[in-house]
Chain A
Amino acid sequence: MAQGTVTTVRLPPEDLKRLAKLAKELEVDRSALIRRALDAGVREILVEEAVRKYQRGGASAWFCARGAGVNLLVFLDELKVRGVPFRTDEDLLREQVEELIRARRGR
């Protein structure tokens, strides 16, 4: 691994115990485990925030996905897993279908 920057984080003793136990189980050193947990945690936070942003509206799914640093297809999967619907323009769709029905009946 490339040389990283040393930083100090204050952790409760029970968290340190959990980390030590898990590091032993996975046979990795504690620093590697903390980096892995941090990676996964930050990704989760970014995706969660991007999903919220998407739900609030005004930004596209792709825009939100990129903001979280994830691929659009992955983001669509995340929406599905979290039960957040992918939204299209239903008003337009309704207009278009009604127009098609009218045209069909007029024939």
Chain B
Amino acid sequence: MPAAVVNASPLAFLARLGRLDALDVFQPLLTTDVVIQEIEEGLLHGHREILAVRDLTERGTLKVRRVAPSPIPGLTLDPGELTVVQVARGIKGAVAVVDDLSAIKAARHLGISVRSTPFVLLMNVEGGAISRDEFARLMDRLMKDGYFLAPSIYLKLLEGARTAGRP
């Protein structure tokens, strides 16, 4: 299993879907203190699903690294995203779990492998932890949550689930 460093938006989306366990396909699973601070702040705004992220950190499943963000010239990223990129860069073979288009482009520019929330869920279909029917439901919920997937990508994901998983 590859190591992964998770950014804030995948944690938020997976927590909303109630499928933070989808991150079990990575070992170790890491994030940064800046990410956790932002996520925890969501609680103050009524995002109770974030309690599940707190549970992951308390159980030690999600390990939190303290990192001081250092700017990377030419990248318009939040300091929190920079910390994710920094940690992923420092671990050989680690992937960054990132959803935001700009953050993905930045990570890839630096040679970091990236996985986004839909792909992490698809990896779980491949691994048998999520059925393909549930995967379809999760994609629908993700899109209802504002996550844009063009129809062609949506269909491609379903095709991926059909070829990879159980009904």
A residues engaging B (CB < 8 A)? Answer: 57-63, 65-66, 71-74, 76, 79-80, 84-90, 92-94, 96-98, 100-101, 104-105
Contact = CB atoms under 8 A, between A and B. Distances in A.
A86 to B, nearest CB: 5
Contacts of B163: 101, 104-105
B39 interface: yes
Contacts, number: 128
B8 interface: yes
Given A61-B9, A63-B76, A92-B104, A71 B41 contact: yes
B100 A61 contact: yes
A88 B44 CA distance: 26
13 contacts: A62-B100, A62-B103, A71-B44, A72-B12, A73-B39, A73-B47, A80-B146, A84-B146, A87-B101, A88-B147, A93-B116, A97-B159, A101-B164
Given A71-B41, A76-B12, A97-B119, A90 B78 contact: no
Given A85-B146, A89-B105, A105-B163, 4 more contacts: A63-B77, A63-B102, A76-B9, A104-B164
B141 to A, nearest CB: 13
B119 to A, nearest CB: 5
The secondary-structure label for the interface of chain A is helix
Interface of B: 8-9, 12, 38-39, 41-42, 44-45, 47, 50, 76-81, 99-105, 108, 114-119, 122, 126, 145-150, 152-153, 156-157, 159-160, 163-164
B18 to A, nearest CB: 16
A59 B12 CA distance: 19
A72 B47 CA distance: 11
Contacts of B157: 93, 97
Contact of A71 (B42, B79, B150, B153): B42
Contacts of B122: 97, 100
Contacts of A96: 115, 119
A85 B152 CA distance: 16
Given A60-B77, A100-B160, A90 B126 contact: no
Contacts of B8: 62, 72
A63 B78 contact: yes
Contacts of B104: 88-89, 92
